[in-house]
Amino acid sequence: MDVVYFAWVRERIGVPREQVESEAATVTDLVAELSAREERYAAAFSDLSSLRVALDQELSDFEAPLAGVREVAFFPPMTGG
């Protein structure tokens, strides 16, 4: 699946997107796999309350299943104005 990072998440991880092979069942499982890779991922995912996730470009939550998902995007909360 494609994993896409926006704003400060991209800055901490150092890439805007990557192709990830994963056996994760949920977004939380995927975050755990990514965080275990290296420190930059652990830093980016250290506080999930400061992150939002979209699955195939639809806002979702971290307990959502990943079966059939082609793209996971992580980004900070957005404010309007």
What are the two backbone dihedrals, phi and then psi, of residue 42, each rounded to the nearest 5 degrees? -60, -40
Residues forming a β-bridge with 71: 2
Residue pair 75/54 in contact by the 8 Å Cβ criterion:
yes
Q: Tell me how far apart the alpha carbons of residues 2 and 17 are, in angstroms, rounded to a whole number.
A: 7
Does pTM top 0.75 for this prediction? Answer: yes
- Going by their DSSP bridges, the two strands 71-75 and 2-5 should be labelled as parallel
Whole-number pLDDT of residue 78: 76
Q: Could you tell me the domains of the chain?
A: 2-75 (3.10.20.30)
Q: What is the pLDDT of residues 54-65, one digit of tens each?
A: 999 999 999 999
Q: Which residue has the higher pLDDT, 50 or 79?
A: 50
Q: What is the pLDDT of residues 9-66, one digit of tens each?
A: 999 999 999 999 999 999 999 999 999 999 999 999 999 999 999 999 999 999 999 9
pLDDT greater than 80 at residue 80: no
